[in-house]
Structure 1
Amino acid sequence: MLHIGVGSKNPAKIEAVRSAFAEMGFEAEVIGLDVESQVSEQPFSDEETIQGAINRANNVMFAEKESHFFDYCIGLEGGVIESPFGMFLCNWGVVVDKEGNVGIGGGLRVQLPEEIANHLRMGKELGDIIDDFTGKHNVKKKEGTIGILTNQLITRKDMFRDVTISAFARFLNPQLYEEN
């Protein structure tokens, strides 16, 4: 059985990792740790979002007591990016193994409604904005903005499951990632 540490206590992220490892055919115990991303509350670029995921994975790896226990440490981070075509959700995952090998994977993107994008540009955090728009509480710990925008056809769990699998690619096919 694999022991997996996730750099978040967010139920959507923990369940996404659990689902990803089951889908990849691994029996895994998944434990969430409350660690910092060390980036802004609302990452505003791919680079910042990736850095947040890296920081979360590393912070799990270096967490006192738990670090020796985990086969893989995972950081998942959601953010937004501006483009000439509008503002988009972005999401990234990082997997670090005991030897320090790092896998990085990104996920789908969806254009945000302009009204939500404008609130983000004013410095508000997406989780708070989507809660206000929907009248729900803690959407980011449940279906996520992606779930709201897609009528639950794709949820935050689904999005981060795919990100986890894509970040794990280097461990599924290590021979392809070996340096000669």
Structure 2
Amino acid sequence: MSQPNLMGVDWSKIPAPLDDGAAGHLVGMKIPPVTLPATDGTSVTLASLPGRVVLFAYPRTGEPGKISLVDDWDMIPGARGCTPQTCAFRDLFKDLREAGARHVFGISTQDTAYQREMVERLHVPFQVLSDSALAMARALKLPSMDVAGLTLIKRLALVIDDAAIAHVFYPVFPPDRNAGDVLTWLQENPR
């Protein structure tokens, strides 16, 4: 089955993810010294970045007109919405920076080449990190799901202050509101 319109989603027809408690341990954790490839060709070690960092995770973005990972992708709670989530962070990027985020990153288990196509197509102004080896996901014990033989990070967002997780948004639904929720939290919790 071909990917439907990646942006035009009726969230009332998509099952919302439930809070399974899989992110309950994250607040206060230190970010491990894992280095990940970024879409600009550099490598990023989140643990070495001072200040406030926003990191949002998603299972995987789709490509218009391409075949879905599985036919029932939209019916997997929390699966659908990676492109709307990324575009919302794109659209609020300047506001997030003005609210104190020194860096904003996306992260998924897709490889950098796949992510780079998405970043270019959607004009994303920040880097997306590839955790294709699941190094960060495993080190932090991030919530994950297995689909079509792949382990994918469940959708969430982290506010990281000086390499320590200060706040977690999980579960995230609908995904296109996640950036706005993060922005509100940053504005209400300045450093």
Q: TM-score, normalised by structure 1?
A: 0.26
Higher alpha-carbon Rg: 1
Q: TM-score, normalised by structure 2?
A: 0.25
